[in-house]
Amino acid sequence: MAVEIKEEIERKIKREKEEEEEEKEENGDEDEDEFLVPRKRLRTDQMKEHPLSRNCPYLDTINRSILDFDFEKLCTVSLSNNNVYACLVCGKYFQGRGQHSHAYIHSVQHYHYVFLNLKTLQFYCLPDNYEIIDPSLEDIKHICRPTFTSQEIESLDKSAKWMKALDETKYLPGILGLNNIKANDYMNVILHTLAHITPFRDYFLNEDNYLSITPPPGDQTFTLVHRLGELFRKLWNPRYFLFRAHVSPHEMLQAVSSVSKKRFKIVEQGDPVEFMSWLLNTLHFALSAGKRKNKSSIVYDTFQGEMKIYTRKLPPQTENEDEMMDYLKMEEYKQKEETTPFLYLALDLPAPPLFQDELEKNIIPQIPLFDLLKKFDGTTEKEYKTHRESYVKKFELTKLPPYLILCIKRFTKNNFFVEKNPTIVNFPIKDIDMSEFLSSDPAVQDSHPHTVYDLVANVCHDGQAGPGKGTYRVHLRHKGANQWYELQDLNVKDLLPQMITLAEAYIQIWELRKD
């Protein structure tokens, strides 16, 4: 008898807990994993289809022109990201759909009846609380969360299909402006550039490539992977017209600020080279977290190369030749060799002239890109000084990556301020042959049947101040259209290839030609 009473009490407690969880779920208090598909709600699955599900009378109240799914999915009242619904009439976000939820109260007070669950992408009519099933809403669902098939991904670089936004603005998928919230153009140019690196872009367009990766407990860096994938899918959205011909990177930049512990901010200008280096390394560690043996990732597979560094310590200055020879025989002053990987190559500009020309105007020198690349020919030596010692180094490439990143060092810091070098770098748009900078080792030469690169992206800095000031813009080549474009925040315009070399290049990405 006592056992039966105990079992009855346990069943009653279990039933009360299930009812309590169901009520919390409807009111938006359930804590769901942000990147896992939430389990189906029992009440929605078990109830019969509402007679108005396929004939909702409020669909004409949807205002597509004000819908914006680029912002962080937070309730405007509770600031919670659990069980958030978007009002398709005013565009605001609210939590839950139960009788005491913010979405329910909003629908009653403002007579807004159509809502979208931002996780399940299901449409509901409130306060009647029935699911809306209508094919005319597919465009809203796809713009909120674009998806790509393998065929669509393969065709992105083979065609150029112009689309038209809701306001009749024409745009080309992939060539969309990114909103500058305040001072984030230094991040926008890097995001634009990475979105046009074909293997890197294709990896993030297909969400299945990284959904199976399990990050370590408490690791927040994997948020960047999902946010970057979402941004790329919105930039390259191939189906349905967009509601506006630009994309806001708000969610991506919020994730950057959080993961970097506010090292990179939206409201303060920064250096795109530092941001690019941090972003690529953080993405690599996030994507290789679950791998034990092979620590590679799409980042290293796309951008990583290798070089040999020959380092020789300089002996102290002395007039005695015998003493100098004794120094050179010491192990400390012998040349040392090491092999190290790299994600980008830093090119040193010569110092600008100190004097003006005869017309009392500043001289802006020019230098060929090949002269800067001689730093890596294995014979050119460069001296590096510390506060105590001096070293001479030589660099020699031993492995060329599929995509070569060059960073031109335009800024030097002295004791007083940061000075910009305005030297113009002359470079061709195609046919940069890197074979003369490869090691003469036959094994290295045989492993590189292709050594010619073509330019795919060029980031420029405008202004006389340091990297934390001025503005940034980027030149991109759309492969499908075979056309160059200049993008600066929301401004997008086509560009002649001859105009690219006139700008003060700061970051360049070159693609290895394999045909």
The predicted structure's pLDDT at residue 328: 67
Q: Say if 163 falls within a structural domain.
A: yes
Average pLDDT over residues 163-177: 85
Q: Say if 313 falls within a structural domain.
A: no
The predicted structure's pLDDT at residue 241: 64
pLDDT at residue 31 tops 50: no
pLDDT at residue 460 tops 90: yes
The predicted structure's pLDDT at residue 434: 94
Q: Say if 419 falls within a structural domain.
A: no
Q: Say if 2 falls within a structural domain.
A: no
Query: 115 and 147: one domain?
Result: no
Query: 159 and 114: one domain?
Result: no
Query: 102 and 212: one domain?
Result: no
State the residue range of the domain holding 260.
143-288
Q: Check residues 298 and 163 and name the one with the higher pLDDT.
A: 298
Fill in the amino acid letter for 49.
E
The predicted structure's pLDDT at residue 274: 95
Please say which residue of 72, 99, 134 terminates a domain.
Answer: 134
Query: 83 and 112: one domain?
Result: yes
pLDDT at residue 201 tops 90: yes
Query: 181 and 284: one domain?
Result: yes
The predicted structure's pLDDT at residue 495: 92
Query: 149 and 181: one domain?
Result: yes
Average pLDDT over residues 102-109: 94
Q: Say if 422 falls within a structural domain.
A: no
Q: Say if 95 falls within a structural domain.
A: yes
pLDDT at residue 406 tops 80: yes
Q: Say if 414 falls within a structural domain.
A: no
The model's confidence at residue 37, banded by pLDDT at 50, 70 and 90, is very low
The model's confidence at residue 417, banded by pLDDT at 50, 70 and 90, is confident
Q: Say if 195 falls within a structural domain.
A: yes
The predicted structure's pLDDT at residue 9: 61
pLDDT at residue 475 tops 80: yes
Query: 171 and 121: one domain?
Result: no
Check which CATH number belongs to the domain holding 129 and give it: 3.30.40.10
| Tens of pLDDT, residues 323-336 | 666 666 677 778 88
Average pLDDT over residues 2-28: 58
The predicted structure's pLDDT at residue 338: 92
Lowest mean pLDDT among 25-29, 96-100, 172-176: 25-29
CB neighbours of 312 closer than 8 A, spacing ≥ 6? 333, 334, 335, 336, 391, 392, 393
* Residue 437 CB-density burial (10 A; 0-12 exposed, 13-18 middle, 19+ buried): buried
The predicted structure's pLDDT at residue 242: 72
Lowest mean pLDDT among 88-92, 145-149, 339-343: 145-149
Query: 209 and 122: one domain?
Result: no
pLDDT at residue 161 tops 70: yes
Lowest mean pLDDT among 164-173, 221-230, 271-280, 498-507: 164-173
Fill in the amino acid letter for 417.
F
CB neighbours of 255 closer than 8 A, spacing ≥ 6? 223, 224, 227
**Distances from the Cα of 246 to the Cαs of 96, 159, 167, 193, 254, in angstroms?**
30, 20, 12, 16, 18
Query: 224 and 118: one domain?
Result: no
The predicted structure's pLDDT at residue 388: 76
Number of domains, the chain: 2
Query: 187 and 237: one domain?
Result: yes
| Tens of pLDDT, residues 343-400 | 999 999 988 777 666 555 667 788 999 999 999 998 988 888 877 788 889 999 999 9
The model's confidence at residue 43, banded by pLDDT at 50, 70 and 90, is very low
CB neighbours of 150 closer than 8 A, spacing ≥ 6? 206
The predicted structure's pLDDT at residue 33: 36
Query: 152 and 279: one domain?
Result: yes
pLDDT at residue 20 tops 80: no
Query: 183 and 94: one domain?
Result: no
3-state DSSP assignment of residue 270:
coil
The predicted structure's pLDDT at residue 244: 78
The predicted structure's pLDDT at residue 167: 76
pLDDT at residue 45 tops 50: no
pLDDT at residue 10 tops 70: no
What percentage of the chain reaches a pLDDT higher than 70? 85
| Tens of pLDDT, residues 433-455 | 999 899 988 999 999 999 999 99
Angle value at C-alpha 268, between 267 and 274, nearest 5 degrees: 125
Please say which residue of 231, 256, 288 terminates a domain.
Answer: 288
Please say which residue of 288, 316, 331 terminates a domain.
Answer: 288
The predicted structure's pLDDT at residue 49: 73
The predicted structure's pLDDT at residue 30: 41
The predicted structure's pLDDT at residue 29: 46
The predicted structure's pLDDT at residue 352: 78
The model's confidence at residue 5, banded by pLDDT at 50, 70 and 90, is low
What pairs with residue 19 in β-bridges?
none
User: What mean pLDDT is reported for the chain?
Assistant: 85
Average pLDDT over residues 135-158: 89
Check which CATH number belongs to the domain holding 230 and give it: 3.90.70.10
Q: What are phi and psi of 273, to 5 degrees?
A: -65, -45
The predicted structure's pLDDT at residue 315: 75
For CA atoms 182, 272, 408, 447, give the dihedral sign. negative
The model's confidence at residue 260, banded by pLDDT at 50, 70 and 90, is very high
